[in-house]
């Protein structure tokens, strides 16, 4: 089979790496890819949102399946365009990717289908928004309806702060058109986990759990980032909890989307809050998490290409409701450019990645990497490397990942040193 993966991050490196292991994968392309992906796939210089360019390339190469990594191309209808051209694609169509693209859609959908989530209101008028804030009190959560690169969510501790957030979003000052409408939500207190599922429009299979670390600093402090590390499985994930998540959230969603005439195919990524043991939906994403994908891919026991093909062809039932998973745990630590998530310099040389990978069970996925004119590896993005390790438990995997990181010679980068701390603490408490 000929496969084309869309995207250029660590998530896409992990996807390409798994697909390359499949015996039926004969030709593997990635648009646009990065320096790590180019070692195992043919990288083509087409932007992930260049729908026409991607369709033309896929037709030219007679690609069998296009696997879409990021949300932006999904939300502008890349899958629809490929299907119209007779090319199979893994990922939701535009009318299903709206689950991530519009928070207002997602909240109304949850209300209609009784899916547990935070209470909310939708607003385009500032006076109505303020009245809702007055009525509900603080803490309260203010969100842009549209995509805002993960930044359109503010948790407000005072009424003044909440007024200001609503005003800045609705006026367009903070996030442009993404804030034309806002969602104001009840604050949910609990611990977060990420839950993944793969759907074929009708049936859906659980696809692993993870926890990520969004803040830039140790101890979960500092600015929000795209994710500084993750581990899988999430420490609180039990078969009973997973069943509850499938029964109360994931299955009703896939059934509801079918009933709405928006069949959901692809990855459904639920950001969940565990509130006194009850899983509640914070948000849906229409794709794998990054860096969560990097810790889930190594744990999948089945052939990933088979699973993707089954999803695209509506055949997930063949797995009898369950995929195979390794009993090992995995962790990934992000190395980012100094200064990230603020401004940073590009082009600093990174050495000894291959030495880090010499440890058994360690794999380094690339994100913002490229080669300079001398063929040296350099940073070209904020998040740059994902040092990923597998172990008997999270503590073991964590030690390995940080051993491997010591080998990497990159003065221009940094990492957090406490990735997986919640799981390590839980493991230590269990052992005591």
Q: Which parts of this chain interact with ligand GLY (CB under 6 A)? A: 212, 227, 285, 289-290, 292
Identity of the residue, 227 or 233, whose beta carbon is nearer to ligand GLY in the bound complex = 227
Site for ligand AMP in 203-262 (CB under 6 A): none
188 binds ligand AMP (CB under 6 A): yes
Least separation in angstroms between residue 167's CB and ligand GLY is: 27
The four Cα atoms 341, 345, 349, 350 give a dihedral, to 10 degrees, of 0
Q: Give rounded-to-5 percent helix, strand, coil for the chain.
A: 35, 30, 35
Q: What does DSSP say about strands 140-144 and 215-217: parallel, antiparallel, or unpaired?
A: unpaired
Contact of 338 with 225, CB cutoff 8 Å: no
CA atoms lying within 13 Å on the CB side of residue 113: 21
CB neighbourhood size of 110 (10 A): 22
Distance CA 330, CA 175 (A): 36
Return the one option of ligand GLY, ligand AMP, none that residue 141 interacts with (CB less than 5 to 8 A, by type).
ligand AMP
Return the one option of ligand AMP, ligand GLY, none that residue 290 interacts with (CB less than 5 to 8 A, by type).
ligand GLY
What φ, ψ does residue 349 adopt, rounded to 5°? -80, 135
Contacts of 2 (CB under 8 A, 6+ apart): 26, 27, 28, 29, 61, 62, 63, 64
181 binds ligand AMP (CB under 6 A): no
Distance CA 418, CA 398 (A): 9
Q: Which stretch binds ligand AMP (CB under 6 A): 46-54, 85-93, 184-192, 402-410?
A: 184-192
CB neighbourhood size of 431 (10 A): 8
Contact of 390 with 298, CB cutoff 8 Å: yes
Identity of the residue, 64 or 418, whose beta carbon is nearer to ligand AMP in the bound complex = 418
Return the one option of ligand AMP, ligand GLY, none that residue 292 interacts with (CB less than 5 to 8 A, by type).
ligand GLY
Q: Which of 80, 161, 283, 303 binds ligand AMP (CB under 6 A)?
A: 283
Return the one option of ligand AMP, ligand GLY, none that residue 377 interacts with (CB less than 5 to 8 A, by type).
none
Least separation in angstroms between residue 292's CB and ligand AMP is: 12
Return the one option of ligand AMP, ligand GLY, none that residue 282 interacts with (CB less than 5 to 8 A, by type).
ligand AMP
Distance CA 391, CA 412 (A): 28
Identity of the residue, 229 or 391, whose beta carbon is nearer to ligand GLY in the bound complex = 229
Least separation in angstroms between residue 186's CB and ligand AMP is: 6
Q: Which stretch binds ligand AMP (CB under 6 A): 13-21, 183-191, 195-203, 336-344?
A: 183-191
Contact of 172 with 125, CB cutoff 8 Å: no
Return the one option of ligand GLY, ligand AMP, none that residue 153 interacts with (CB less than 5 to 8 A, by type).
ligand AMP
Least separation in angstroms between residue 272's CB and ligand GLY is: 13
Site for ligand AMP in 123-152 (CB under 6 A): 141, 150
Contacts of 136 (CB under 8 A, 6+ apart): 184, 186
CA R_g for the chain: 21
What φ, ψ does residue 304 adopt, rounded to 5°? -65, -35
Please count the residues of this chain forming the interface with ligand AMP, following the rule CB under 6 A: 12
Residues in the chain: 432
Q: Which of 53, 256, 271, 361 binds ligand AMP (CB under 6 A)?
A: 271
Return the one option of ligand GLY, ligand AMP, none that residue 403 interacts with (CB less than 5 to 8 A, by type).
none
Q: Which of 145, 185, 200, 290 binds ligand AMP (CB under 6 A)?
A: 185
Least separation in angstroms between residue 287's CB and ligand AMP is: 13
For residue 94, give the nearest of 69, 115, 74 by alpha carbon: 74
Identity of the residue, 204 or 272, whose beta carbon is nearer to ligand AMP in the bound complex = 272
Return the one option of ligand GLY, ligand AMP, none that residue 285 interacts with (CB less than 5 to 8 A, by type).
ligand GLY
Distance CA 202, CA 255 (A): 7
104 binds ligand AMP (CB under 6 A): no
Contact of 53 with 85, CB cutoff 8 Å: no
Q: Which of 80, 108, 161, 192 binds ligand AMP (CB under 6 A)?
A: 192
Q: Which stretch binds ligand AMP (CB under 6 A): 181-189, 313-321, 336-344, 414-422?
A: 181-189
Distance CA 262, CA 245 (A): 21
């Amino acid at each position: 089979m000929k496969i084309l993966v869309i995207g250029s991050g660590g998530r896409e490196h992990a996807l390409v790496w798994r697909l390359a292991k499949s015996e039926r994968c004969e030709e593997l392309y990635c648009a646009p890819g990065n320096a790590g992906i180019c070692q195992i796939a043919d990288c083509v210089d087409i932007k992930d949102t260049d729908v026409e360019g991607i369709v033309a390339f896929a037709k030219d190469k007679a690609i069998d399946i296009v696997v879409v990594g990021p949300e932006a191309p999904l939300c502008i209808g890349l899958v629809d365009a490929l299907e119209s051209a007779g090319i199979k694609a893994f990922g939701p169509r535009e009318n299903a990717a709206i689950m991530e693209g519009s928070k207002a859609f997602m909240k109304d959908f949850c209300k209609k289908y009784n899916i547990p989530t935070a209470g909310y209101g939708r607003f385009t008028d500032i006076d109505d928004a303020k009245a809702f804030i007055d009525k509900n009190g603080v803490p309260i959560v203010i969100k842009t309806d549209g995509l805002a690169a993960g930044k359109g969510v503010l948790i407000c501790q005072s009424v003044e702060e909440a007024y200001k957030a609503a005003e800045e979003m609705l006026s367009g000052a903070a996030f442009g058109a993404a804030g034309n409408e806002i969602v104001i939500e009840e604050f949910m207190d609990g611990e977060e986990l990420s839950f993944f599922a793969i759907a074929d429009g009708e049936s859906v299979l659980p696809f692993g759990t993870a926890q990520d670390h969004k803040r830039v600093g140790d101890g979960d402090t500092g600015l929000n980032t795209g994710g500084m590390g993750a581990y899988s499985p999430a420490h609180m994930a039990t078969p009973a909890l997973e069943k509850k998540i499938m029964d109360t959230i994931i299955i009703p969603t896939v059934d509801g989307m079918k009933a709405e005439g928006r069949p959901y195919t692809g990855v459904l990524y639920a950001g969940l809050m565990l509130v006194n043991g009850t899983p509640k939906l914070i948000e849906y994403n229409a794709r794998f998490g990054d860096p969560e994908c990097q810790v889930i891919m190594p744990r999948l026991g089945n052939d990933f290409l088979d699973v993707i093909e089954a999803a695209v062809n509506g055949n997930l039932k063949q797995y009898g409701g369950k995929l195979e998973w390794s009993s090992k745990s995995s962790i990934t630590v992000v190395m980012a450019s100094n200064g990230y998530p603020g401004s940073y310099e590009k082009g600093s040389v990174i050495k000894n990645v291959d030495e880090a990978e010499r440890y058994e069970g360690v794999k380094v996925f690339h994100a913002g990497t490229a080669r300079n004119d001398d063929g040296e590896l350099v940073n070209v993005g904020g998040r740059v490397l994902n040092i990923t390790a597998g172990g008997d438990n999270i503590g073991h995997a964590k030690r390995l990942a940080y051993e491997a990181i010591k080998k990497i010679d990159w003065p221009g980068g940094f990492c957090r040193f406490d990735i997986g701390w919640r799981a390590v603490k839980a493991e230590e408490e269990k052992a005591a």
